[in-house]
Amino acid sequence: MTRCRFCGGSPAYVIEHAGMSLCKDCFIKYYEKKVYKTILKHGMLKDADKVAVAVSGGKDSVALLKVLHRMASERFPSISLVAVHINLGIPGYSDRCQAVVEDVCRSLGVNYLIYDLGREEGYTIPDLRSTALGRRICGACGTVKRYLMNKLAYEVEADRLATGHNLDDTVELLLEFYLRGSVEEIIRVKPVAWSNHPKLVTKIKPLIELTERENLYYVMAQGLPILETECPLAKGSRMLRRKKLIDMIEREIPGFKHTFYKSHLKRLLPKLEQAVEEPELAE
Ligand code: Q46
């Protein structure tokens, strides 16, 4: 009978890419250790005072808020957290996301800021469907969210903006950018986007080495609420289709996602950055 790899107890979760089963307590330790190592490896919280955490109400961002709350109280006591949420005005979805965010923040005792897109900007994400941008609604939505999240993080005087991007998101983006040969976009896929612009907040991705499934397990293990329905505007999107394809490859080649990300980060990214900065040296 399968036992927990670390303590021999009864297993609760299977970590397929690592070929191991873990009980609930050992899974929480494994998960938090991985996030802590990622933070240290990339110096994500070095000299940071205040971290704005982008929380949508989905599993990744709820896991991110919980794990950063643990890190801040146990390992980085001088760092304060503030959760930031944008209500995108998507009917039947956005108000439920906001309710989850408020619920999680209250239960953790984390301060939060809600930005209502319709009220503040006079339009919602579904409104973009009637514009030229609407053909790629997720791309347009992503641009709006990136701009506003930075603005909100800047306004709350955070020196880091943490997002819940996970390994699956990262590999999906990489697949798209490598297929397009889009070097400018490929070199922006990294765990930290350092900023030396006074109005751009440094962005960090502490969950970049964790899969969607590991984030879901962490939220379940911690008994936290999440919104289980997907955004209705994502249905049939290219992004979801690429993720399905990547999951199929992962089933045939276990560890594919980790290998792709690590090859990008260690081998390809440094060469591409050098090629962009010093084109004559890279020839
Ligand atoms: S909220 Fe916006 Fe996502 Fe909905 S419209 Fe697409 S990008 S799917 S994470």
pLDDT in tens, 6-46: 999 999 999 999 999 999 999 999 999 999 999 999 999 99
Contact 161, 86 (CB under 8 A): no
**pLDDT in the model for residue 133:** 55
The CATH number assigned to the domain holding 195 equals: 3.40.50.620
Which ligand 1 atom sits closest to the C-alpha of 231? 4
pTM here is 0.94
Residue 110 lies in a domain: yes
Ligand 1 midpoint to CA 233 (Å):
7
State the distance from the centre of ligand 1 to the C-alpha of 5, rounded, in angstroms.
Answer: 37
Tell me, yes or no, whether 10 lies in a domain: no
* Mean pLDDT calculated for residue range 132-147: 82
Q: Which residue among 233, 239, 241 has the greatest number of ligand 1 atoms within 8 angstroms of its CB, and so is best to mutate?
A: 233
- Please check whether residue 22 lies inside any domain of the structure: no
CA distance 257 to 253: 9
Q: What is the pLDDT of residue 132?
A: 54
> Which range marks the domain in which residue 218 is found?
36-273
Residue 211 covered by a domain? yes
Q: Is the pLDDT at 248 greater than 80, yes or no? A: yes
- State the total domains in the chain: 1
Whether 203 contacts 165, CB under 8 Å: no
Give a yes or no: residue 12 inside a domain: no
Residue 54 near ligand 1, beta carbon < 6 Å: no
- Per-residue pLDDT of 177-197, as tens digits, reads 999 999 999 999 999 999 999
Nearest CA to ligand 1 atom 5: 138
In angstroms, what CA-CA distances link 57 with 95, 133, 166, 229, 264?
A: 10, 25, 15, 10, 29
d(CA 105, CA 207): 19
Q: Indicate if ligand 1 lies below 6 Å from the C-beta of 253.
A: no
Asked, for residue 62, whether it belongs to a domain, the answer is yes
- Whether residue 234 has its Cβ less than 6 Å from ligand 1: yes
Q: Whose C-alpha lies nearest to ligand 1, atom 3?
A: 138
Best residue among 131, 141, 169 to mutate for probing ligand 1's pocket (most ligand atoms within 8 Å of CB) is: 141
Verify whether ligand 1 is closer than 6 Å to residue 231 (CB atom): yes
Position 280 in a domain: no
What pLDDT is attached to residue 167? 98
* Predicted pLDDT of residue 236: 78
- Per-residue pLDDT of 74-84, as tens digits, reads 999 999 999 99
125 lines ligand 1 (CB under 6 A): yes
8 located within any domain: no
Between the alpha carbon of residue 38 and those of residues 31, 58, 206, the distances in Å are 11, 21, 6
